[in-house]
Structures are given as structure tokens and as C-alpha cells.
């Protein structure tokens, strides 16, 4: 039995990735990791209902010791971790002049340090076996400026470059590291940004006042759209792809 470990698996993109991997992988057990124990049980139940072997592991990815312990537990209970998806993330918005230091620290603790902790713990096992694949879920904001999102964009840019640099280090062991950069995706994280002026419609249509392009395909991404890209990059079909960043945003950044 092989294992795929997905962080942020309680909801949104992480949950969609866990389900997609479970359905696509023959003989793959899913280790669903999140700090939200109650929501995590829902993901595991959905995997069970789909006939996928899965277990939930409650973990705050900012805690290095807990991350290492969870990875060891997954290896012991479910088998060697051959795929890692760093999908855990948080969003805090606001203009830089008014942005709090605590919010900055929270973004980098989860979006960057969490990716570092989990990738380091997993890759130590992968290198010994000389195989494995890692995908980090970043954001198209990492390469395109957005008003009110400077801190979030910076954290995702850091996570993306960390993942690519890690990929360069571990390529000699046959381990691939790639990035998926979603655009606006229909998740609770996106809807938390909506106000009287910022809605699903305005997200699709764009806003000239904030220099934000709309989405050429005319719709929000669904979590499953992102999950399909992640599954591809983890698969044998992407066996010669590493250090790559795949943007999945309906054309919102014009193919940057």
C-alpha cells in the first residue's frame, strides 16, 4: 500500500484533491491532514463512501514536531508516502499601511513555514527510497500584483520558490516537485473576501479601479479543477515534469 498525504484536507481545494487522488489511485491510501478535526472527519467519511482507504490526522502544520510525528505515523499506518500535496493555507487581506504584524506572521507561518515543515519531513523518507512527488498549491497572486493582497501574495511566492528550489535539490533522487497556482476558486476562502462591492460576478468580470483583470473563461474555478491539475502532476504521465508551475485560473493572468 502506498500513501498520498494531503494537507488542508478538511475543505476547499485540499478536500477536493484528497477525493480526486483517492478515486484516481489504485492501491493508494489517503492521509488527510488538517487542524480542523470536525471538518476533517467529513472528508474521511466521503473517502470511505467512495471505497478509498483513508485516515484523518489532526495537525497544525506550523508545529514542526507534530508534523514530523504525523508523517512517521502515516508511514507506519498507511505505507510509504509517495505523494505530498501542500494545500493548507490561510488568507488575510488588507492594505500594507494598515496590515498587522500578527496577520503577516500568521500567513507566513502556515503558507510558507507549514510547507517547509511538511516537505522536509516527507522528503527525508522519499530520498531514502529514491522516489516521490510533491505538489504545493500556491496562487496566481504569487506572480501578479493584487491590491490588498501583498502579504498573501508574498507568502505564496515564497512557497512556490521554496518548492522549486527543493525540487532542484532532490531531483538526483528521482523526486519531482511542482507547483499549482490557482486563480479565483469557489471555496470558503474566496467567499470570505466578498463584500457589497466585491462579489462572485465582479471577480469574474474584473475591476479596472483595482487593476484586476477578469476571468476570460467567464467562470470561477471549482475545487475539482485544481484537483485535476494536482493529480496530473503527481501521476506517471507527468514523470518528466519537475520545477514547473502550472497556473489554473481561466486565463485571469493572461498566461503569465
Catalytic residues: 152
If you search the block for the grid coordinates 493584487, which residue do you land on?
Answer: 146
Domains of the chain (ranges; CATH) run 2-184+227-246 (3.40.50.720)
Compute the distance between CA of residue 194 and CA of residue 30 in angstroms, rounded to an integer: 32
Model confidence, pTM: 0.95
pLDDT score, position 196? 58
- The torsion angles phi and psi of 62, rounded to 5 degrees, stand at -80, -10
The pLDDT confidence band at residue 216, using thresholds 50, 70 and 90, is: very high
Q: Where does residue 74 rank: exposed (0-12), middle (13-18), buried (19+ CB within 10 A)?
A: buried
pLDDT score, position 195? 65
- Tell me: pLDDT of 180 over 80: yes
pLDDT averaged over every residue in the chain: 95
If you search the block for the grid coordinates 497544525, which residue do you land on?
Answer: 60
- Tell me: pLDDT of 193 over 70: no
Average pLDDT over residues 55-71: 98
Q: What percent of the chain has pLDDT over 70?
A: 97
Average pLDDT over residues 100-118: 98
The pLDDT confidence band at residue 201, using thresholds 50, 70 and 90, is: confident
pLDDT score, position 197? 60
Q: Within its chain, how far is the Cα of 218 from the centroid?
A: 24
The pLDDT confidence band at residue 169, using thresholds 50, 70 and 90, is: very high
Average pLDDT over residues 33-58: 97
DSSP 54-113: EEEEE--TT-HHHHHHHHHHHHHHT--EEEEEE---------GGG--HHHHHHHHIIIII
Average pLDDT over residues 172-188: 95
pLDDT score, position 141? 96
What is the three-class DSSP state of 122? Answer: helix
Amino acid at each position: 500500500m502506498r500513501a498520498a498525504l494531503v494537507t488542508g484536507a478538511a475543505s476547499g481545494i485540499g478536500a477536493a484533491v484528497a477525493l480526486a487522488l483517492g478515486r484516481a489511485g489504485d492501491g493508494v491510501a489517503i492521509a488527510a491532514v488538517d487542524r480542523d478535526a470536525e471538518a476533517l472527519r467529513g472528508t474521511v467519511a466521503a473517502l470511505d463512501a467512495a471505497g478509498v482507504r483513508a485516515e484523518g490526522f489532526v495537525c497544525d502544520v506550523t508545529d514542526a514536531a507534530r508534523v514530523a510525528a504525523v508523517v512517521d505515523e502515516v508511514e507506519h499506518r498507511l505505507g510509504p508516502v509517495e505523494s505530498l500535496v501542500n494545500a493548507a493555507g490561510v488568507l488575510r487581506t488588507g492594505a500594507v499601511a494598515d496590515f498587522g504584524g500578527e496577520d503577516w506572521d500568521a500567513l507566513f507561518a502556515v503558507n510558507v513555514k507549514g510547507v517547509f515543515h511538511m516537505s522536509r519531513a516527507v522528503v527525508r523518507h522519499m530520498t531514502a527510497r529514491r522516489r516521490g512527488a510533491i505538489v504545493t498549491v500556491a496562487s496566481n497572486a504569487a506572480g501578479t500584483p493584487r491590491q490588498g493582497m501583498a502579504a498573501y501574495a508574498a507568502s505564496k511566492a515564497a512557497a512556490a520558490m521554496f518548492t522549486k528550489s527543493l525540487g532542484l535539490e532532490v531531483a538526483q533522487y528521482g523526486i519531482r516537485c511542482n507547483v499549482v497556482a490557482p486563480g479565483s476558486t469557489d471555496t470558503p476562502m474566496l467567499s470570505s473576501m466578498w463584500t457589497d462591492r466585491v462579489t462572485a460576478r465582479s471577480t469574474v468580470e474584473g475591476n479596472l479601479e483595482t487593476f484586476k483583470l477578469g476571468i476570460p473563461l467567464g467562470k470561477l474555478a471549482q475545487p475539482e479543477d485544481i484537483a485535476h491539475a494536482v493529480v496530473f502532476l503527481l501521476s506517471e504521465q507527468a514523470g518528466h515534469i519537475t520545477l514547473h508551475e502550472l497556473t489554473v485560473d481561466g486565463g485571469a493572468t493572461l498566461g503569465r
